Structure 1
Amino acid sequence: MGYIKDLRKKIGTAPIIMVGACVLIFNEQRQLLLQKRIDNHCWGLAGGSMELGETLEQVATREMLEETGLTPHELKLFNTFSGPELYYKYPHGDEVYNVVTAFVCTDYHGTLAFDEVEASAIQFFDLDKLPEEISPPDQVVLDAYVRGMNGGD
C-alpha cells in the first residue's frame, strides 16, 4: 500500500481514483473464497490497489498471495468495473472511486491462510449462500458474476 499511503499523506482523505484488482477464487466444489475484513467487518474478495509499475495481473497475484496464502497458476479476466457505484468511503474517512479489474481463479497452489492485519477470517461459500455483509465495492463485482452465471447481462 505504498503508493496510496504516500498519496494520502499529501492529499488527506479527499476522493481519488484508485485502480486495483480483485480475484474470485473458487475451489473444486465451485465455492467462492471470501475474507472477513477488519476495517468494515464485511466479507470481501482478495484484492487491492495497484502499486507504481505493476500490471493488473501482478496486483491480483500479489494480493491473492498476501490475503489468502494462495498463488494462481492461471487468472482469467472477468470484467473491469468503474463508475459511481464503485465510490466508497472507508471507515477511517478516505474516499475513493474504484476502478477494479476482476479475475477468476480456479487453478492455484499454496496453503490457505489470511492476513491477520486485514482480515479476521477466511472461508469458502456456496454462491447461493453468500453472507449478507459483503463489502460494498465487492458486492458490485459479485452481483455481476452471479447475473452472468444466471444468463443475465
Structure 2
Amino acid sequence: MNYIKDMRKLIGHQTLFTLGCGVIIEDGERILLQHRTDEDNWCIPGGVMEIGESFEQTAKRETFEETGLQVEKLDLFGIYSGEACFVKYPNGDEVYSVQLIFKTSCYKGELKQMDIESREHRFFLKEELPQNLNPRQKAFILDWAEKKQLPVIS
C-alpha cells in the first residue's frame, strides 16, 4: 500500500495534505542527519504516515527504512506546521505536511550509509550543523540545537 501514489492517481499534482513523523536521534550531544539523494540537503530520518499506522509506528518504520536503526523510547519533541511545511516538487506535485517530531537516544542496529533515499548519515554537534538543512526541517533541527523547551508547537 502506498498512500501517496494512490492519492496522486486521483488528484494529480494538486496539494496533498500529509502527516509526517521524524526522529531526532541523539548520540550524546550529537544529532544524526542524513544527506538526501533527491535533494542536496540534510535532514532527520522520517516520512509520511500510511493508513492505519500510529505516529510511533510511522516514526519507527521510516527511521528503520532510511537508516537501518531500530529506535525505542520515543519522546514527543514537537509538532510543526505552517508555510515551511509546504513544498512544490520539480515534477509539479504539491504537498503540505504537518510533522510530528520525536526524540530518542535509544537505538540499536547497524547504520546503513547508502539507500534509495540517502547517500550519507553523520552525527553532528550543534556547532557543526551543515548550512544546507532541509528547509521543511530546519525549524526543528535548530530548535534541537538551541535546546528549546519541549514540546515545541509551531
TM over 0.5: yes
For structure 1, which segment, 89-98 or 67-76, has the greater mean C-alpha deviation from structure 2 after superposition? 89-98
Alignment of 1:89-108 (within 5 A): 89-108=88-107
**TM-score by structure 2 length?**
0.90
Tell me how large the CA RMSD over aligned residues is: 1.9
Which residue is equivalent to 1:19?
A: 19
Percent identical pairs in the alignment equals: 39
1:66–1:114 contact (8 Å) kept in structure 2: no
1:15–1:95 contact (8 Å) kept in structure 2: yes
User: How far apart, in 1, do the equivalents of 2:76 and 2:50 lie?
Assistant: 19
Which residue is equivalent to 1:56?
A: 55
1:40–1:91 contact (8 Å) kept in structure 2: no
User: How far apart, in 2, do the equivalents of 1:128 and 1:93 lie?
Assistant: 35
**More helix by percentage:** 1
User: How far apart, in 1, do the equivalents of 2:98 and 2:87 lie?
Assistant: 11
Provide, for residues 62-109 of structure 1, a one-character-per-residue CA deviation record: whole Å limited to 9, x for no partner: 011111111112101011111222111223332111100000010111
Corresponding pairs, count? 151
Which residue is equivalent to 2:3?
A: 3
Provide, for residues 101-148 of structure 1, a one-character-per-residue CA deviation record: whole Å limited to 9, x for no partner: 00001011111114521111111111111011111111122123334x
Cα 1:83–1:50 change in 2 (3 A) is: same
User: How far apart, in 1, do the equivalents of 2:123 and 2:91 lie?
Assistant: 28
Deviation at residue 56 of structure 1 after TM alignment: 0.6
Cα 1:115–1:91 change in 2 (3 A) is: farther
Cα 1:51–1:115 change in 2 (3 A) is: farther
Unaligned stretches of 5+ residues in structure 2: none
User: How far apart, in 1, do the equivalents of 2:79 and 2:11 lie?
Assistant: 26
1:66–1:115 contact (8 Å) kept in structure 2: no
Q: Which amino acid aligns with 1:90?
A: Y
Provide, for residues 29-50 of structure 1, a one-character-per-residue CA deviation record: whole Å limited to 9, x for no partner: 3211111111111111100000
SS of 1:136's partner is coil
